[in-house]
Amino acid sequence: MKTEIPYDRFAHVPERIFGLVDLAYNLWWSWHSSASVLFKMLNRAEWKMSRHNPVRMLLDTPPRFFERAAANPEYLRRYDIIMHRFGEYMVPGTSWFAQHYPSRTPLTIAYLSSEFGLHHSLPFYAGGLGILAGDHVKASSDLGVPTVAVGFMYAEGYLHQHIEADGWQKNVAEILDRDAAPVLRVMGDDGKQLVVQVPLIDPPIYVAVWKVQVGRVPLYLLDTHIDENLPENRNISHRLYLKELECRLRQELVLGIGGRKVLHTLGVEYSAMHLNEGHSAFSLLERLRERLVAGMPPDEAREQVRGTSVFTTHTPVPAAHDVFPEDLMAKYFRSYCPSLDLAWDEFMALGDDPHNPGAGFNMTAFALRMSRFHNGVSKKHGEVAREMWQPLWPDLPPEEVPIDAVTNGVHVPTWLNHRIEALIDRYMDPDYPNWREDYDNPIIWEVVDEIPDEELWREHQWLKMKLFSRIRDRKRRKWAGHQGEPANLAAEGLMLDTSALTIGFARRFAEYKRADLIFEDLDRLDRIVNNRWRPVQFIFAGKAHPADDRGKRILQKIYQYSQDPRFGGRIAFIEDYGEQVARYMVHGVDVWMNTPVPLMEASGTSGMKAGMNGVLNLSVLDGWWVEGYNGRNGWGFEGHAASPGDNRADAETIYDLIENEVAPLYYSRTMDDVPHKWVRMMRESIKSIAPQYCSLRMLKEYVTRYYPSVCRYAAGPGEQLAGLEGVCPPGPAPRMR
Ligand SMILES: *Cc1c(COP(=O)(O)O)cnc(C)c1O
């Protein structure tokens, strides 16, 4: 089995800078801004045209561009530095992990997730869960935690959002050109792309295997869009989260059972598995089955699988947990079940939800029963999850239910704007050149106090202008392409004013996120937006799930308000929210607003991205903000929603905060036109949020609290024993039915 970069397709790249090809196929470049500059300098127009996909760009760039670069000493100097840094990075043995766990037999974690948000050239994510998984993998690479990730090749992962004149969301599919993207075919011994059969499923399902290299971490992607499959099975991996239950079950079979099988076939050895949400939980069945086939006694096999699994649950919204009815399970698992040494009822009982006995196979209940460590994604969510799943541990009071919390964090090199990074560099102690590898250390961020107000404010203004010019640029292209309606020019941000206080709201249009909260009282909103001395603007972005008409209606409502002349073009909606738009928004608005129904937001991560760039959070105290808010780094308030749809009280609170606190602070200027008190809050935001809500802190928690403990067994085929230090005592066993 091997993956090789198809070097022969790059014969037009000169020897002297041929390393660009290796760089293009490793996403390491995407979180090192100086590396992306190499691509940009080579061919600026093509870089933009390819939407920052270096593989496509290198393929499409004519030889004279390469010759010019290879003759340019400045280019070569940069090239040599970057290639040196890249080479150093890829050397094992220099990482945090290698330093802290030197004597340990290799511990490798298999990390499974249904989505991975890594970069906008790879459409393998829908929202926050995917971006989190992407950030987790990048942090694993940075820290050198041996990890192998498994996900899907969603060739049609990007559904671009196009808003019609009446505000209705249309989805335009874009098919990934796999041969011009930073993905590699994994080849079998026969010289053809490796194809693996998902075990025991009838009729059979096959997956082809791809690989994306994320720094030091390989991510294997499963692809069912191949001739070997029956037509009805080809689309299993084509799009994210198929709505129809049976399609969804098949997706999860492929990810869990197929994913495990692929690792086995590749000969990847790992010591434990980390399931990012329940979609991949069938992998636990396959690991159990393999042990039984190898002759292990059932009790021991089950204890081993449990003992080597970590499960992270990501949502308190009941409808977001997959439940498959018994007849559907029977269709796919009747033939599988006997090999688990379980009677059918015992099998179904593994996924029984005590709140809803007999309703079907609940993937979260199953994953909780079959994993050793389970965690929510913020302290508050841990509490909510303990309460929610207490019936699985009927003898324990909720506070003793063994569901822990590891608060999410975001990958700082991906989300911190490079201009803010450069500002930090300028003031950082020269004795601390490696601060970028240590950014979960709060001491580093104290440097923010050294930056003069004027300078921090100037950088922020620059980023805000950049956002506004992006918005206008997109709008102009749409208009020039005869796709825009005049009425929508205002709605889509043409009249935004860089000097006005700008509040951003961007996330999926799930109902509980209450994107439309500020439209509760239109007269009040009118007064706020059109305040003569202290005008306020709102920029919205976000996609509704293609099958979610309620979400689409909320979006339409907001879009229609943004078209209303009454609001003077100060409410805007930006199309096609994704990682790229998210990046501009979390860098460039003044305030990041979040208004979920209380207790529904497990964590939320966009506010972390904003906060570390000095964008102030204004949010319901829910999810991560319960612990992130310190009274000086933004605004937080207790949400009230007495009944679904009762949004009045929270809307009033938001209006009051904006009118009485946020706008006065923003507009209180001294002679130098700098809002010094605001800048003080920006500093506090960066300092308090960056070191704590970063993926290094998060990953180190997973490593120190769970990973060594789940790596103590070694008997599964293709699984290996890691060191035994630091093993936690086993937690209480959950109720099986
Ligand atoms: C960070 C991010 C999210 C997550 O946002 P929430 O705050 O959890 O709603 C979703 N989508 C994209 C593109 C992101 O970058």
| 127 Cα–ligand 1 center, Å | 6
pLDDT (0 to 100) of residue 483: 79
Give the CA-trace dihedral at 375, 381, 382, 383, to 10 degrees: -160
Cβ atoms of residues 322 and 252 within 8 Å: yes
Q: Is 602 in the pocket of ligand 1 (CB under 6 A)?
A: no
* Closest residue by CA, ligand 1 atom 15: 579
Test site for ligand 1: of 116, 507, 624, 698, most ligand atoms within 8 A of the Cβ: 507
pLDDT at 464 over 50: yes
Facing residues of 211 across strands? 184, 220
- Residues 502, 524: Cα–Cα separation, whole Å: 17
Which pTM does this prediction carry?
0.95
Nearest-atom index, ligand 1, CA of 578: 13
Domain spans in the chain, listed from the N-terminal domain onward: 2-90, 96-408+704-712, 412-693
Q: Is 132 in the pocket of ligand 1 (CB under 6 A)?
A: no
pLDDT at 546 over 50: yes
Which has the higher per-residue pLDDT, 483 or 461? 461
When pLDDT is cut at 50, 70 and 90, the band that residue 258 belongs to is: very high
Strand extents, DSSP E, 335-490: 361-362, 373-376, 404-405
pLDDT at 714 over 60: no
Chain centroid to CA 570 = 30
Mean pLDDT, to the nearest integer, of 403-426?
A: 96
Q: Is 542 in the pocket of ligand 1 (CB under 6 A)?
A: no
pLDDT at 419 over 70: yes
> Is the Cα dihedral 185, 191, 193, 197 positive or negative?
negative
- Secondary structure, 3-state, 678-710: HHHHHHHHHHHHCCCCEHHHHHHHHHHHCCCHH
Q: Is 604 in the pocket of ligand 1 (CB under 6 A)?
A: yes
Test site for ligand 1: of 124, 575, 606, most ligand atoms within 8 A of the Cβ: 606
Fold agreement (96-408+704-712, 412-693): yes
pLDDT tens readout for residues 96-130: 888 887 765 668 899 999 999 999 999 999 999 99
pLDDT (0 to 100) of residue 737: 56
What kind of architecture, by CATH, is found in domain 96-408+704-712? 3-Layer(aba) Sandwich (3.40)
When pLDDT is cut at 50, 70 and 90, the band that residue 27 belongs to is: very high
When pLDDT is cut at 50, 70 and 90, the band that residue 720 belongs to is: low
- The closest alpha carbon to 287, from 269, 301, 300, 274, belongs to 301
- Residues 218, 216: Cα–Cα separation, whole Å: 7
Q: Is 131 in the pocket of ligand 1 (CB under 6 A)?
A: yes
| 234 Cα–ligand 1 center, Å | 29
pLDDT (0 to 100) of residue 722: 47
Nearest-atom index, ligand 1, CA of 582: 15
Q: How many of the other CB atoms lie within 10 Å of CB of 477? A: 11
Q: Is 115 in the pocket of ligand 1 (CB under 6 A)?
A: no
Q: Is 128 in the pocket of ligand 1 (CB under 6 A)?
A: yes
Mean pLDDT, to the nearest integer, of 674-683?
A: 97
pLDDT (0 to 100) of residue 176: 94
Cβ atoms of residues 308 and 343 within 8 Å: no
For helices 676-689 and 453-480, angle between their N-to-C axes, nearest 10 degrees: 90
CA atoms within 13 A on the CB side of 579: 26
pLDDT tens readout for residues 471-498: 999 888 888 887 778 778 888 988 999 9
CATH number for the domain whose boundaries are 412-693? 3.40.50.2000
* Closest residue by CA, ligand 1 atom 1: 606
Q: Measured between alpha carbons, how far is residue 411 from residues 31, 109, 441, 483, 685 in Å?
A: 9, 19, 14, 36, 17
When pLDDT is cut at 50, 70 and 90, the band that residue 719 belongs to is: low
Q: Is 620 in the pocket of ligand 1 (CB under 6 A)?
A: no
When pLDDT is cut at 50, 70 and 90, the band that residue 710 belongs to is: confident
Q: Is 123 in the pocket of ligand 1 (CB under 6 A)?
A: no
Q: Is 127 in the pocket of ligand 1 (CB under 6 A)?
A: yes
Q: Is 611 in the pocket of ligand 1 (CB under 6 A)?
A: no
| 157 Cα–ligand 1 center, Å | 16
Q: Is 579 in the pocket of ligand 1 (CB under 6 A)?
A: yes
| 605 Cα–ligand 1 center, Å | 6
pLDDT tens readout for residues 61-81: 999 999 999 999 999 999 999
> Is the Cα dihedral 615, 620, 625, 631 positive or negative?
positive
When pLDDT is cut at 50, 70 and 90, the band that residue 549 belongs to is: very high
* Closest residue by CA, ligand 1 atom 5: 606
- Would you mind telling me the total number of residues written for the chain in this entry? 737
